A and B are shown apart, each in its own frame.
Chain A
Amino acid sequence: MPKFTLRINKKTHRINIDADTPLLWVLRDELGYTGTKYGCGRGLCGACTIHIDGEATRSCMTAVDNVDGAEITTIEGLSTDNSHPIQKSWISEEVPQCGYCQPGQIMTAAALLDRNADPDDEDIDSAMKMNLCRCGTYDRIRKAIHLAAKEQK
Chain B
Amino acid sequence: MSQDFSRRDFLKVSSTVGVGLVISVALPYKERLVAAGIVENSFEPNVWIKISPDNKVVITLAKSEMGQHIRTSIPMIVAEELNADWSQVNVVQADTHPDKYGSQSTGGSGSIRRSYMRLRKAGATAREMLVSAAALKWEVPASECKAYMSEVIHSKSKRSLKFGDLISLAGKLDAPIDPILKDEKDFTLIGKSLPGLDTVSRVNGSAKFGQDIRLPNMLYATVLKCQTFGGSLKSFNAKKANKINGVKYVFEVEGGIAVVATNTWLAIKGQRALDVEWDHGDFHSWDSKKIKNMMETKSQDKAVIAKEVGNTKNLKNNISIESNYEVPFTSHATMETMNCVAHVNKNSAELWVPTQSPQRIQSSIAEKLNFDIEKVKVNVTLMGGGFGRRLWSDFIPDAVEISKKIKKPVKLLWTREDDMKHDFYRPASLHKLKGSLSDKNELISWEHHIVSPSISGQRSPERFKNGQLDRSAVNGANNLPYDVPNILVDYVMSNTEVPVGWWRSVYNSQNAFANEVFIDELAYKAGVDALEFRMTMLNNSPRHKAVLRLAAEKAGWGKPLAKGQGMGLAVHESFGSWSAQVATVTVSKTGELSVDKIVASIDCGIVINPDGVKAQMEGSIVYGLTSTLKGEITIEKGAVAQSNFHDFELLRIDEMPKVEIHIVPSIEPPSGAGEPGLPPVAPAVANAIFNANGKRVRKLPIKSKDLKV
Interface residues of chain A, those whose CB is within 8 Å of chain B, are 1, 18, 21-22, 25, 28-30, 32-42, 44-45, 47, 74-76, 78-79, 82, 87, 90-91, 94-103, 106, 124-126, 128-142
Whether A18 contacts B246 in the complex (CB less than 8 A), given A29-B220, A137-B619, comes out as yes
Quick check: B196 and A94 within 8 Å, CB to CB? yes
Quick check: B204 and A78 within 8 Å, CB to CB? yes
- In the complex formed, the residue of A with least CB distance to B206 is A35
Quick check: A45 and B205 within 8 Å, CB to CB? no
Quick check: B416 and A40 within 8 Å, CB to CB? yes
Quick check: B335 and A126 within 8 Å, CB to CB? no
Quick check: B205 and A74 within 8 Å, CB to CB? yes
Instruction: Flag the segment in B14-22, B148-156, B207-215, B234-242 that touches A.
Output: B207-215
Q: Contact check: which of B220, B383, B416, B615 meets A39 at CB < 8 Å?
A: B416
Instruction: Flag the segment in B179-187, B292-300, B554-562, B648-656 that touches A.
Output: B648-656
Q: Looking at chain B, what size class is its interface with the partner chain?
A: 35 or more
- Minimum Cβ distance to chain A for residue B502 (Å): 16
- In the complex formed, the residue of B with least CB distance to A45 is B645
In whole angstroms, what is the CA distance A99 to B658 when docked?
22
In whole angstroms, what is the CA distance A126 to B650 when docked?
16
Q: What are 5 A-B interface contacts by the 8 Å CB criterion?
A: A34-B212, A42-B644, A98-B335, A136-B619, A140-B615
Quick check: B623 and A136 within 8 Å, CB to CB? yes
Q: Does B69 contact A (CB under 8 A)?
A: yes
In whole angstroms, what is the CA distance A6 to B454 when docked?
52
Given contacts A33-B205, A136-B623, A139-B659, 17 further A-B contacts (CB under 8 A): A18-B245, A37-B336, A38-B413, A41-B416, A44-B645, A79-B204, A98-B335, A98-B384, A99-B201, A100-B334, A102-B202, A106-B203, A125-B653, A132-B650, A133-B622, A135-B67, A139-B658
Q: Does B429 contact A (CB under 8 A)?
A: no
Interface residues of chain B, those whose CB is within 8 Å of chain A, are 66-69, 195-196, 198-209, 211-212, 214, 220, 245-246, 263-266, 268, 333-337, 382-387, 413, 415-416, 611, 615, 618-623, 644-646, 650-654, 656, 658-659
Whether A136 contacts B653 in the complex (CB less than 8 A), given A21-B263, A37-B335, comes out as no
Instruction: List the 7 closest A-B pairs by CB distance, nearest first.
Output: A35-B205, A136-B622, A100-B384, A98-B67, A99-B202, A97-B67, A75-B205
Quick check: B335 and A100 within 8 Å, CB to CB? yes
Inter-chain contacts of A37 with B (CB < 8 A): 209, 211, 335-336, 384
Quick check: A138 and B653 within 8 Å, CB to CB? yes
In whole angstroms, what is the CA distance A45 to B387 when docked?
18
Q: Contact check: which of A35, A82, A94 meets B615 at CB < 8 Å?
A: A94
Inter-chain contacts of A47 with B (CB < 8 A): 335
Q: Contact check: which of B195, B200, B205, B335 meets A134 at CB < 8 Å?
A: B335
- In the complex formed, the residue of A with least CB distance to B615 is A97
Instruction: Give the total number of A-B pairs whose CB atoms are below 8 A apart.
Output: 185
- Minimum Cβ distance to chain B for residue A59 (Å): 11
Quick check: A41 and B336 within 8 Å, CB to CB? no
Quick check: A38 and B646 within 8 Å, CB to CB? no
Inter-chain contacts of A40 with B (CB < 8 A): 416, 644-645
Inter-chain contacts of B337 with A (CB < 8 A): 38-39
Quick check: A134 and B653 within 8 Å, CB to CB? no
In whole angstroms, what is the CA distance A22 to B386 when docked?
27
Q: Contact check: which of B199, B209, B333, B659 meets A94 at CB < 8 Å?
A: B199
- Minimum Cβ distance to chain B for residue A116 (Å): 16
Quick check: B382 and A99 within 8 Å, CB to CB? yes
Quick check: B335 and A35 within 8 Å, CB to CB? no
- Minimum Cβ distance to chain B for residue A151 (Å): 15
Quick check: A129 and B205 within 8 Å, CB to CB? no
- Minimum Cβ distance to chain A for residue B280 (Å): 25
In whole angstroms, what is the CA distance A37 to B205 when docked?
9
- Minimum Cβ distance to chain A for residue B417 (Å): 8
Whether A141 contacts B653 in the complex (CB less than 8 A), given A25-B263, A96-B203, comes out as yes
Inter-chain contacts of B202 with A (CB < 8 A): 96, 99, 102
Inter-chain contacts of B623 with A (CB < 8 A): 134-136
In whole angstroms, what is the CA distance A129 to B203 when docked?
19
Whether A96 contacts B196 in the complex (CB less than 8 A), given A34-B208, A135-B67, comes out as yes
- In the complex formed, the residue of B with least CB distance to A29 is B263
In whole angstroms, what is the CA distance A137 to B196 when docked?
15
Inter-chain contacts of A124 with B (CB < 8 A): 653
In whole angstroms, what is the CA distance A64 to B212 when docked?
20
- Minimum Cβ distance to chain A for residue B537 (Å): 32
Inter-chain contacts of A130 with B (CB < 8 A): 652
- Minimum Cβ distance to chain A for residue B385 (Å): 5
In whole angstroms, what is the CA distance A100 to B653 when docked?
16
- In the complex formed, the residue of A with least CB distance to B65 is A98
Quick check: A87 and B67 within 8 Å, CB to CB? no
Quick check: A99 and B653 within 8 Å, CB to CB? no
In whole angstroms, what is the CA distance A78 to B203 when docked?
10
- In the complex formed, the residue of A with least CB distance to B661 is A139
Inter-chain contacts of A94 with B (CB < 8 A): 195-196, 199, 611, 615
In whole angstroms, what is the CA distance A76 to B220 when docked?
23
